Amino acid sequence: MRPRQWLKNLFVFAGLLFTLDAHHPASDYLRVGLAFALFCILSGSVYLLNDVLDAERDRKHEQKCRRPVASGRLSERCAWNAFVVMMMLGLGGSFALGLEFGAIALLYVVIFMAYSARLKNVVILDVMLIASGFVLRAAAGAVAIDVQISRWLLMCTTVLALLLALAKRREELLVLEAEAGSHRPSLEHYTVPFVDQMISISASATIISYALYTFFSATGLAHKYLMGTVPFVIYGIFRYLFLIQRRLGVESPELLVVRDKPLLINILLWGITSALIVAIGR
């Protein structure tokens, strides 16, 4: 179920972070915590399905061959049974948390089951679907506590997720080289220069959309000092691009947050600064 990748589910806290100036009862903090836990269950179950469907291809990958199903340490039958149980638990809990939250969770599941089954083999669409998962997490977190997230912030989430997905595709191309297409059909249509172009666009769009969010969104207009967090975003993007070029663990972008100390410190400072700026406004 890849618990290390559950860091992605922290996006459900975006709605809470940028509305700290509003009154939130204790139940809101509990609800967003439950939303995080439910997305951990749902994303974990999708990873189980993905590993079963990709077992043969994963055995050809120098790192993915160590995954439990691909290596034979976990039987496919056990993985299937766990997938069904966890999916029922996750969706049941999601609809119990709220109809709207449940609908977003169901959409997330449908998209990524389709992605695991076939759509991950469609060039460009594959990375766009990965990005949609981050947006759905952020939207679900906002719905869970009945707040609105700025369209600019959702846009920033989208292009940031595209950057992460493209970095992963780039590393796959470099690791697999001539065998890339046999591991994932969509990789036949990608080239490193093409992916680098899309990474540059995504990085630029991330900085611009976040800056516009801090300048022109309702939250940004209410908290003018929020624009002071833009340098953290610029440094974070530039640091990530540096790591991409150095090929330092980019195939698992979620692990860079805890493995690269400058990036981790930068993210923590951004989070603390943003929370203080918004909370002080209350």
Reported as a single tens digit per residue, the pLDDT across 211-235 is 999 999 888 888 989 999 999 999 9
The closest alpha carbon to 219, from 160, 156, 133, belongs to 156
d(CA 59, CA 73): 13
Q: What is the pLDDT of residue 185?
A: 77
C-alpha distances in Å from residue 34, one per residue of 56, 83, 182: 35, 20, 39
What single string gives the DSSP state of each residue in 107-129?
Answer: HHHHHHHHHHHTGGGSTTHHHHH
Residue 176 per-residue DSSP state: H
Q: What is the pTM of this model?
A: 0.87
C-alpha distances in Å from residue 182, one per residue of 57, 69, 121, 125, 147: 7, 19, 11, 18, 45
Dump pLDDT digits (tens) for 75-94. Answer: 989 999 999 999 999 999 99
Dump pLDDT digits (tens) for 22-59. Answer: 888 999 999 999 999 999 999 999 999 988 988 887 78
How many folded domains does the chain comprise? 1
Q: For residue 230, which amino acid is it? A: V
C-alpha distances in Å from residue 46, one per residue of 4, 195, 227: 14, 26, 37
Q: What is the pLDDT of residue 180?
A: 64
Q: What is the pLDDT of residue 146?
A: 92
Q: Does the pLDDT value for residue 148 go beyond 90? A: no
Q: What is the pLDDT of residue 183?
A: 65
d(CA 54, CA 117): 9
Domain with 133, as residue range(s), is 3-280
What single string gives the DSSP state of each residue in 33-50?
Answer: HHHHHHHHHHHHHHHHHH
- Are 150 and 223 contacting, i.e. CB atoms less than 8 angstroms apart? no
d(CA 28, CA 19): 11
- Are 154 and 135 contacting, i.e. CB atoms less than 8 angstroms apart? yes
Residue with tokens 């690791």: 175
d(CA 22, CA 18): 9
- What CATH number is attached to the domain comprising 83? 1.10.357.140
Q: Which two tokens stand for residue 117?
A: 């089954």
